[in-house]
Structure formats: C-alpha cells, structure tokens
Structure 1
Amino acid sequence: MSGDRWRARRGAVGVPAGRGRRSGWGRGPRRVRALVLVAVGALLAGCASMPDSGDVSQVKASNAGDSQVRVYPVPPREEAEPGEIVDGFLEAMTGDDPGFAIARKYLTKRAASGWKPEERTTVLTSAPASGQPERPVDRPTGREEAAAGLFYRLSGRQVAAVDSSHAYQPVRAARYTGALHLVQVPGADGRSREWRIDSLPQGLLLSESDFQRNYRSVNTYYFASGQQRTMVADPVYIRQRQDPVTRMDPVAQTVRALLDGPTSWLAPVVESSFPTGAALREGVTALAPDDQNRLKVPLDGKAADVGPERCRRMAAQLLLTVGSIGATRIEQVELQRPDGRQACVLDESDQDEYRTDPSGGMRANPYFVDASGRLARLEVGTEDVGLPVPVEGPFGNGTVRVGQAAVARDERRAAVISDGGSHLRVASVVSDVELPGVLVDSRGARPEDRLSAPSWDGRDGLWVADRDPADPRLLMVPDDIGRPLEVTTPWLTEGVRVEEVKASADGVRIALLLRKGETTSLYMGRVERHGSGQEQTVEVVDLQAVAPRMDSVRSVSWAGPSRLVVLGKPAGGVEQVRYLQTDGATSGAAVPGLNQVQAIAAADDERAPLVAAADDGIVRLQAGANWQPMVKKGSAPVYPG
C-alpha cells in the first residue's frame, strides 16, 4: 500500500488531524482541518495488517458522495491562534456531533446561546475561504486592542440555500460574503486568554460536497387542495444520519417534516390531513419498521380525536412519505394515539386509492411522430424493440400532418399541433373518427411564434402556449367545459416567450421553458384554480428557477412525482441530459452522453426507459444500459401526459 494511502487510513480511524499545529494570522490556503474522520469499513479494504510507524497526516473532510464517511470535529486546543479558531469552527459545522456541541466551543458563551444552526443552511461550491484578519475601522491602542478583536471575512460562490422548513432553493452561482468576529475571553484556568468567535452568520455554511454528505432529499406527501385522493410530492432535505439538533434518526426526521406541513411555496395548493400542530409523541426520536415491515408512529394529543377516514388519509400521507426514504421497505403504517392505542392502520395494498397521478398511472409505452407526420406508438417495455404502430384515427392515418403531440393519460385521446404550429386539435387515438375542428388557432407569423407542444395534466386539463409576440398566451382546456381558458400569467411580460409546457400528474405544478433574449431557462410554476365550470379561473404564479446553473435548457419532461429530466447546457459546459429535482437539486446518477439530442421524454413511472429524439432517430435508455436505437427517423417523443 502506498504511503499516501496509508496516511489517509491513519487519519480515518480517529487520529486528530492537524493536532498541535499552529496557523499564523496571515494565512494562505487552509492549513488545519480540525476533524476526525471515521470511514466505515476502511480498515477492512486493501490492508491485512496495521503498520506501527509513519507520520500522521491530514484527511480532507469533503469527500463528495461518500455517505459512509463520518466527521467528528475536535475542540479548540489551548492557546489556539485566531486563524485556527476560524478554521476549526468552519470545519466543525460539517460534523455530526449532537447539538453541534464541539462547534459551540469555538464561540463565546453569548454567541453559542444565540447561534441557531437549524435556521438555514447556505451551500457553497467549495469550503468558504477566510481572508486575512482585520482590525476594526477605529483602531484601538494598548489594552483596548485585544478587547476590540479581529474580523475574518468569509467568501465563496453560493449555489443553494435550505431554510428552516428544509426546502431547497438553488441560485445561480452568486458571490457569498460573511464575517466572523473574534475576541479574547478568559481561559479555563482564569489567567490565560483564549480567542473565541462572538459574532457570526446564522445557520450552517457548507460546501456542496459536505452538504451532499450530510443531507439527503425525501418526498413528503400532501393532498392537492380539494382532492381527497390526489397526492403531491413536496421534496425536503433531512440529515443522512441523526440530526444534531433534534437527535432524530432519518425516519423520525422525515415524519416530523411531514407533520410540520408543506413548504411555503407549495402550501397554497395542498392540504394535510394531520391536525394543525400535530407532532410525534414527546421523547420519540427514533422510528423503525419491525421484522414484518410495519412502522408504528406514536402521535401526541393533537391527533387524539381524529375519525377513521381522516386517520386513513393521514396514514396514506405517511406511507407514501416514508416509502420515499428507500432504506427499508415499509408495507404497513400504524398510527398510535398518545396512550399507545391503535388509531388506524393502512397497508401498502390499500395505497392504490391514494395516488400521485389521479388518472391511475402512466403506461410504459411512448409515442412519437414518424417521418410521414403520423402519430405512432412504440413498445419499449420488452428486450426487443417492436415496430412502431400508427394510432387509430386522423392523427395516425395521414389525414393531418402532425408536428407535435401529447397523449392523454388514459391513452384514448391525443392533442396535436399541425399546419406549421397554427392549429391545436384533439381526437381519439383508439377509434377511426373524422378530423375534429380547430380548438386553438395561432396567428404567429413564423412557426416558432405559434403554438408550443401541448401537455395533459392528471385532471384531464390540456395545456398549450401561444407564442405569438403580438398576443402571447398560456391556455388550458378543462375537460369539463371543452373550451380554452386563458391562464393568468403575471410573469409573461414583453420579451418573454413560453417555449415548452409540461404539466404535472397532480395538476398543481407546471414546468415551463421560458425564453428571454438568447437564453431559455427552466422554471416551476404553481397552478392555482378558483371556481368551477364556465366561471373558473386558473393562474400560474410564483415561478421558481429550477436550473439556474444551466446557461440554456432545450427540453424537459416529468420523470416521477418530484423529478424532471432535462436537456440543457451547464454554464461553461456542453449540452447534456440530466435529472433534477423539482426544487432544483441534482437527482440520480449521470445520464450517458448522446449526440445531437433534440428532445427528451420520460414517464412518471421511474422504471420506464428514457426516450429521446437524436441524430440517430428515436432512441431509448434503459436502466444500467446504453442508448439503444429504436426508429431510424422520427421526432417529438412523448409519454402519456
């Protein structure tokens, strides 16, 4: 084993890195990593015996993606220089010690009592840099100089923030600045003076790799407003292991996040069956399924008097939520009253009546437009790719030349854009019917200024954008009235054009590609509905940037209840296909490269393969495989929705 590898193992099993080293006030790069790392299984891999000599060396804390690495910070040494205090505290924030007790040792008593690490988490591209120490502007002299203390400026590039409700918000890499102020306080012996931090930014400050090591995304589930069966995924971030503040394990953290209610962005369009203020029974910090995969969840008195049907809805929210953790399959949830009595039970087999897709779920077969302009269906669920089959009716028999299409989630109807983007029609794809009339007509001068590809939500609502610069509109055709409604869009201002719309299965979110100037960006909009029938109004409001670190996005598709697949170009990179959470966080493994992609499509069923239109025609990507050709010529692939 090489010397470098051996030194890493010495650090990994508990040798305090950098112990006893001093850093002066005028530091360059970080010299001290005040941490102890424990890598599970490290001693079992690659070495048969433990050497008994050799130097102790540093071990970097930020090992991206290594969830087995545990970081245990060490307290400040006696007579530590100010720079060591700064470095030690920044490192201690990346650790797992209960209550951040070690991190608080770097603070004065007043600062330690006021510091709330749970209030927010600021995520930077890399560990924050701390510059040279600065004296206050009005420089004191003599004894007052030490009392006035030192400032250390913190800087970095911020990529995201997580608020106290665990909601993730990406930002386009922006400059972060902050400051730590250090003063000298009496040491433990009452005679010496020790440097400590007495002023600091609230919350945690983490590098992207430390954030990924410490946190994970889970979906909490709530009912769409006014819908007793349709569930909406609300992604939040929890600690990978025990939460240092609440001392809760990941399952208890997830349940607590659900009981706390939806994130502020989603709250206007969802509702929870749990009573306001309901919580886990006092003292419960760990939840785990038994040997029969049953999870018992004890609640406090706020949930003591709920009726059986409401209790079942609560259990449905819990079952879907804890199922998203993925570590252990949970087949049954039992809610317990404060005295331990059973309130209700919900089995996995009963979960079908509560869905994230009210249409009953998508099939696994996509559709595309063939070289003759006909809408055709492909079989992709088998090992071999079958021949494409044109749909029934005018969209498959050549009566109309199809440009773009969307297939309803029940797969009985399709909506197509024809005549160079001018017309939207809807017709059956399972029976031979006459060509229907035009439902929406665009008067844009050029094809790119006319109608976007349509999209169906899970409530049988059909969405399309008219990109005519003279009259830009977002339209929705509700199934119950059969005529287009103009959607209220306060963000659709001069110079902004909707390139693509993708409605969610739950009907309360919509992904939008908006073009301004030469840039097309991805946003998530909240769908708010008021009234019904002829009098109803629909708004898309509070747009949130989903991919701010991409220079441009060309295609997007839903790939699950809180996941998107995106074709776009990262800043300074080349165009690629990648998965993103609806909150903007990167999701899942990297997608193999593919040349000259025009469009990408995915199913709500995450097990279904990706389908793309590329130079090689229509291709698919199954899990664990490479891209596979399906049809030599074709365009506009879509799954139902």
Structure 2
Amino acid sequence: MGTDRVGGVRRPVRAVVYAACGVVLLAGCASMPDRGDLRDVESTPRQDSQLQVFAMPPREDAPPAEIVQGFLEALTSDDPQYATARQYLTRGASGDWRPERSTTVLAGGPDIQVDRVTERDSTDNYAFTLTGSKVARVDDQQSYTPMGGHYSQPVHLTQDKKSGQWRIDVLPQGVVMGQSDFQRNYMSVNKYYFASNTWADVAPAATAVADPVFVRRRVDAMTQVVRSLLSGPTKWLGPAVSSSFPAGTALRRGVTSLVPDDQNRLTVPLNEKASGVGREECRQMATQLLFTLQNLTPTVDAVTLQGADGGTLCSFESGRAETVATRGSVKRPDYLYFVDDKQRLVRISDTGTASGAEPVPGALGEGVQKLQSAAVSWDERTAAGVGSDGRSLFVSSLVAGGALDAPALQSQGRAEDDRLTAPSWDARGDLWVADRDPARSRLWVLEQGGGEPLEVKVPGLKGRVDAVRVAADGVRIALVVKADNNSKSLLIGRIERDEKAGERPVVSVLGLRSAAPELENVTAMSWAGDSRLVVAGREQGGVQTMRYVQVDGSTPEGPPPAALTGVQSIAAAEDDRLPLVASSSEDGIVRLPSGAQWQKVTKDGMAPVYPG
C-alpha cells in the first residue's frame, strides 16, 4: 500500500495486516505542513477482504494538520474500539466521543479547511472545518439512509502546555469517511424478524422479514450481527414486525466474541431475560438467529442457545428453521408466465423455451378476455389479469374449465395509461393493484384475492402510484411514484394493518423512503431477494441503466445486470438461481442466466412474471 498524495500533502500511511499470511507492513508518517489549506481526503481504494488495516498513532510533535489527517485515517481502520483514533484526542474529548452513534458517508472523503481566524488569533489552539457532499448516514441502529446536501463540521485542536503535543478537543460525534472507505469497511447483512401485521387466520407459519443493517466487515462481524439482532428491529421496520427474543435479551455479561465450533455450531450465551422461555419460543429465537447468520456466512449449520446459568435452552439445526417460519417464496416457482401475442396468459418451465409455452389452465389462458398484464399467486393456483384496455382486473383460478368471473375492480381513467397497473400478490394470498386515474388515484388490496377491495391509505404520498410490487412477506411494498413533473421514483413503504373487532381492517402504507435515489425516472422494477430489487431507469443526466438496489437505498455488492435497451418490465424470482427475465421494446422477452448474456425467449410476448 503506497503513500497517497492529497493536494501535494503526504498522508499518513496505515499499517496493513495480511491475515492470511501473517505479514505486517508498516510505513512511517511523513511530515505535514501546519499551515495552508488541505484539500479532499480521498477515499482509499478498496482492499482485499483478507487485509486488515490498522491506524498509526500520532507522531511525536506532529503539527495540527497532520493530527487531523491521522485521525481521519484512523476512522477507516479495523481497530475494534477506535483505540488509535482516540490517541489523537484530548482525554476529555475521548471520553465524550461516541463513534458508534453514526457513520456519515461523503462522496469523496472529508475536505479539510483551515479556520484562518482562529489560526491568527491564537498560538495554542487551532481550528479546522470538515466539509463534503453527503451520500448516506448509518445511525446507531446500523440502519442506512441515503442523504444529500452539504456536510460541514468543526474540529478544534489545542496544544498541551506540558507535552507540547497537539490534540483534538472538539469534534463531531460519530464517524465520517469517504464512500469507497465505507464500502471497504462495512457490509450489509439481513437480520430477520417475524411479520406481525398479517391476517393470522391465513398464516400457516410465521413469516420472516429481512431488516438490513451495516456492520464493520472485519471487526468480528458475527458478534456484531447477533448483538444487533438481539437489540431489536430498526425503527423503520419495527412497527410491522416482532422478535421472539424477550425484551432486554442480550449476550451474557463477559461474552465478547462468538465463534462456531468445528461442527459449524454456534453457541450463543444469553442473559437472564431469556431464562424463562419455553421450547417453542426458543425454536423461534433459534430460527431468527439461523436466518440471520446464514445471510452472513454459510458456515453456521446449527445454533445452541444458553441461559444465564450456562444451561442449554435449545439446540436447532438450519434444516428445521423452515418448519418454524417461511422466508421469501414458499417454494421454487414451477413456471415463468407471460402474455403471448394472442393476449393470453401462458407459461413455460423456468428453463424451457417459448416453443414449449402453453396457455394456463382456466379462463385467463383461453383468450376470451384479452390481457395486457398479469400476476400469479405464490402457490401458482390463482392468477390475476388486467384487461387489454387497462380498465378491468380479473381474478381466476388456474383450473381447467373455470369460468371467468365479473371484474374484481374497475378503473374510470380516460386514457389507458391512467387506469390499472399490473397486479402483485404477496405470499399470504393478498392481491395488490393501483388505479392511476388522475381524478382519484388509489392503491387497492383484495384480501385473499377477492371480496370487496380495500382502499389502502398512503399518507405523505406526493404523486400517483404508477407500479406496484409487494414483497412476499406482505410487510414491505415497492411503489413507482410519478410526480407532477412526470419523473418516476422508486419508494419502499411499510404495510400496517389496524384491525378492530367486527370491522374490516384499515390498511396503510407508511414510512415511504427512496430506494433508488440516483435514478430520476424508474421504468421497471421487481423484487429480487429478501431485501433486494432490480430496477431499470434513467440516471440523472439521461443515461439508461439497470441495477440492483437494497430496500434501504444502498447498493448491494456484486456486478449489476448486463445492459439492456428498451426495458418495459422486469421479472425476478426470490430464488436467485433462476434467471432474470425482462420485456424489451426491441427484443421481446429475454432472460439473463447467471454468468451469461441476455438470451431471447420470444419476440411475440410481453409482461413476463414469476409468481408474486
């Protein structure tokens, strides 16, 4: 790792430990000027995951500028408690500083500006201002939120009268770093809780809901994730989920690290709050842990939960977790569905070709009612289709000989584009669709796909819903919202139900937040995992793109899908072994197998969907 140059100023070089081979590379700090402006602290290039980066302590008689620069470098190291970073602070400042409070991510790293007034007026104190362009913030619950705007925070230094050493005595709370340093230091992990707002009488098992958080990648990530799971869901998801861990449950006092044994079993010692749990509750606790840990690493096959006295509360293997709760789709889809050139709903096997397409059993496959879009329930027993004029929503069982019932819902929109969106099912069997009628645009849900539609309240919505995709868990929903200026953004909302005895529930979508802030015109989207979506749209500046995004607005690791022009719709399965499928204005229906390029399925078809 070489020495970076920032505006002609040499930066302190961190020590890099090669964990795989045990070699330690140390580089000394070069002298830095203590006057003049210092420019952008560039984020360092991403490092190999086997590397651990440790900060260098302050050099004897280092000038103020070098102290600030060294402190910022120390924030990007793999020091678990930021012990080296604290060496750049006065004793009082170190006691007051709370690095765990937040992490602020800046586009290119913090820019250091000298406060000239303080510089002239005193010889024993010095002030700087850290500035930059905000990208995101990770809060004290490790929850990620995209941000924009200008960052500006003061940093003040004082010179110790006895030692003559400069140290920071005023600094912002939390941690600040550049975007590439954040990507090197942090990783996104899904922790899992149980849906608490679905209709209980139709729930065969608990539904696990992903709650993504960011943890430090090489600072005992497993223990961090377990602590985060025990502390409860993030504020955004909390109102819609519950945890099986009793309130106040934490790791037993004195437990500092969790490591699986040679049988891939992780033992988790808990405090006294968990001591009275029953067998079924303990199984649910173990399921939450297994779902969470397997999202972090495949090396945990079983967990053992211990009480405060060291006794075993329960042991549970990963293969049994699906008997306690479902996660995503209940099963791998049997078919890929699309609307063919006769405007019928047809299906092919997930690995088949268009030549093998067959009309679905039932009325929607007979062609009596022509369709423009459709959705198939997760159990692949029921389908919903929007008529070719976009005015009517039909629901029909996928059984041969079934009659087509009257429309379940109709729109009064004058233009075709001002009528019904494509529908979407959640795994509980509820059907969602939006009416784009400018006179009264609304979001609807049909309980179990039928009955009187329920209008869904969406407080704070600015614009109209132009596309709907509900997550399999029935807790989160993705909406493409069209604003008055015709831009289309992707928002994620939290579904909440207020049920009162003898009355129909009040269903609301709350907590709307952006999932693709860099796209100014989203044209298509689909869920592509427990907390991931695939999105097609136009970037600010007019570049068409397709990418994966997380529900919290962050960008997941890994390459984006291969470019595709003229994307009209996208279909992704919860099972990531199945290919991504899209409808293109130029190529018809195409699919993207893993490690391959887009392949044509059929030119004569549209609106492909997997169940959901």
Between stretches 501-510 and 288-297, larger displacement belongs to: 288-297
Residues 358 and 568 of structure 1, relative CA distance in 2, 3 Å threshold: closer
Q: How far apart are 1:307 and its partner, in Å?
A: 0.8
Partner of 1:332: 302
Q: How far apart are 1:480 and its partner, in Å?
A: 8.0
Q: How far apart are 1:57 and its partner, in Å?
A: 13
Native 8 Å contact 1:359 1:409 kept in 2? yes
RMSD: 2.6
Residues 163 and 636 of structure 1, relative CA distance in 2, 3 Å threshold: same
Q: How far apart are 1:543 and its partner, in Å?
A: 0.3
Give per-residue Cα distances to partners, 1:571-593, cap 9 Å, x unaligned: 33622221111111111322111
Separation in 2, partners of 1:598, 1:81: 58
Match of 1:110 among 92, 98, 109: 92
Native 8 Å contact 2:31 2:66 kept in 1? no
1:177 aligned partner, one-letter code: S
**Unaligned regions of 5+ residues in structure 1, if any?**
1-7, 12-16, 45-49, 243-248
Q: How far apart are 1:359 and its partner, in Å?
A: 6.5
Separation in 2, partners of 1:357, 1:381: 23
Match of 1:303 among 260, 274, 288: 274
The 5 A counterparts of 1:424-439 are 424-439=393-408
Give per-residue Cα distances to partners, 1:497-520, cap 9 Å, x unaligned: 111010111111100000101210
1:344 aligned partner, one-letter code: C
Separation in 2, partners of 1:371, 1:534: 44
Partner of 2:443: 474
Native 8 Å contact 2:523 2:567 kept in 1? no
- Secondary structure, aligned partner of 1:463: strand
Partner of 2:343: 373
Match of 2:494 among 512, 516, 526: 526
The 5 A counterparts of 1:86-485 are 86-136=68-118, 140=121, 145-147=122-124, 149-171=125-147, 173-186=148-161, 190=162, 192-225=163-196, 229-242=206-219, 249-326=220-297, 328-357=298-327, 360-363=330-333, 365-381=335-351, 387-479=356-448, 482-485=451-454
Q: How far apart are 1:606 and its partner, in Å?
A: 1.7
Partner of 1:246: none
Partner of 2:60: 78
Native 8 Å contact 1:280 1:300 kept in 2? yes
Residues 40 and 287 of structure 1, relative CA distance in 2, 3 Å threshold: closer
Separation in 1, partners of 2:455, 2:252: 48
- Secondary structure, aligned partner of 2:190: strand
- Secondary structure, aligned partner of 2:266: strand
Separation in 2, partners of 1:39, 1:580: 31
TM-score, with normalisation over the residues of structure 1? Answer: 0.87
Residues 633 and 279 of structure 1, relative CA distance in 2, 3 Å threshold: same
Separation in 2, partners of 1:626, 1:105: 52
2:465 aligned partner, one-letter code: V
1:589 aligned partner, one-letter code: P
Q: How far apart are 1:213 and its partner, in Å?
A: 1.0
Q: How far apart are 1:67 and its partner, in Å?
A: 2.2
Between stretches 32-41 and 411-420, larger displacement belongs to: 32-41
Between stretches 66-75 and 628-637, larger displacement belongs to: 66-75
Q: How far apart are 1:123 and its partner, in Å?
A: 0.7
Residues 415 and 29 of structure 1, relative CA distance in 2, 3 Å threshold: farther
Between stretches 606-615 and 284-293, larger displacement belongs to: 284-293
- Secondary structure, aligned partner of 2:267: strand
- Secondary structure, aligned partner of 1:417: strand
Residues 482 and 265 of structure 1, relative CA distance in 2, 3 Å threshold: same
Native 8 Å contact 1:289 1:295 kept in 2? yes
Residues 616 and 278 of structure 1, relative CA distance in 2, 3 Å threshold: same
Give per-residue Cα distances to partners, 1:258-317, cap 9 Å, x unaligned: 000000000001000101111111222222222222221111111111111111111111
Separation in 2, partners of 1:62, 1:239: 16
The 5 A counterparts of 1:583-594 are 583-587=552-556, 588-594=558-564
- Secondary structure, aligned partner of 2:255: coil
Partner of 1:561: 530
Residues 42 and 620 of structure 1, relative CA distance in 2, 3 Å threshold: farther
Partner of 1:598: 568
Native 8 Å contact 1:74 1:92 kept in 2? yes
Separation in 2, partners of 1:287, 1:455: 41
Residues 229 and 157 of structure 1, relative CA distance in 2, 3 Å threshold: same
1:94 aligned partner, one-letter code: T
Partner of 1:32: 11
- Secondary structure, aligned partner of 1:62: coil
Native 8 Å contact 2:333 2:350 kept in 1? no
The 5 A counterparts of 1:562-641 are 562-572=531-541, 574-587=543-556, 588-614=558-584, 615-641=586-612
Give per-residue Cα distances to partners, 1:582-640, cap 9 Å, x unaligned: 11111132211122221111011122110011121111111111111111221111111
Give per-residue Cα distances to partners, 1:439-492, cap 9 Å, x unaligned: 111111111111111111111111111111111111110128622001111123
- Secondary structure, aligned partner of 1:315: helix
Native 8 Å contact 1:65 1:209 kept in 2? no
Native 8 Å contact 2:10 2:31 kept in 1? no
Native 8 Å contact 2:98 2:173 kept in 1? yes
Give per-residue Cα distances to partners, 1:379-422, cap 9 Å, x unaligned: 2236x676222112221111011111111111111111114111
- Secondary structure, aligned partner of 1:152: strand
2:368 aligned partner, one-letter code: T
Separation in 1, partners of 2:328, 2:87: 52
- Secondary structure, aligned partner of 1:112: helix
Q: How far apart are 1:60 and its partner, in Å?
A: 8.3
Give per-residue Cα distances to partners, 1:32-65, cap 9 Å, x unaligned: 2342233556999xxxxx9xxxx99999872226
Separation in 2, partners of 1:41, 1:340: 34
Partner of 1:497: 464
Residues 506 and 287 of structure 1, relative CA distance in 2, 3 Å threshold: same
TM-score, with normalisation over the residues of structure 2? Answer: 0.91
Separation in 1, partners of 2:70, 2:47: 23
1:97 aligned partner, one-letter code: D
1:592 aligned partner, one-letter code: A
**Unaligned regions of 5+ residues in structure 2, if any?**
33-40
Q: How far apart are 1:427 and its partner, in Å?
A: 0.7
Residues 536 and 287 of structure 1, relative CA distance in 2, 3 Å threshold: same
- Secondary structure, aligned partner of 2:288: helix
Separation in 2, partners of 1:627, 1:529: 41
1:450 aligned partner, one-letter code: R
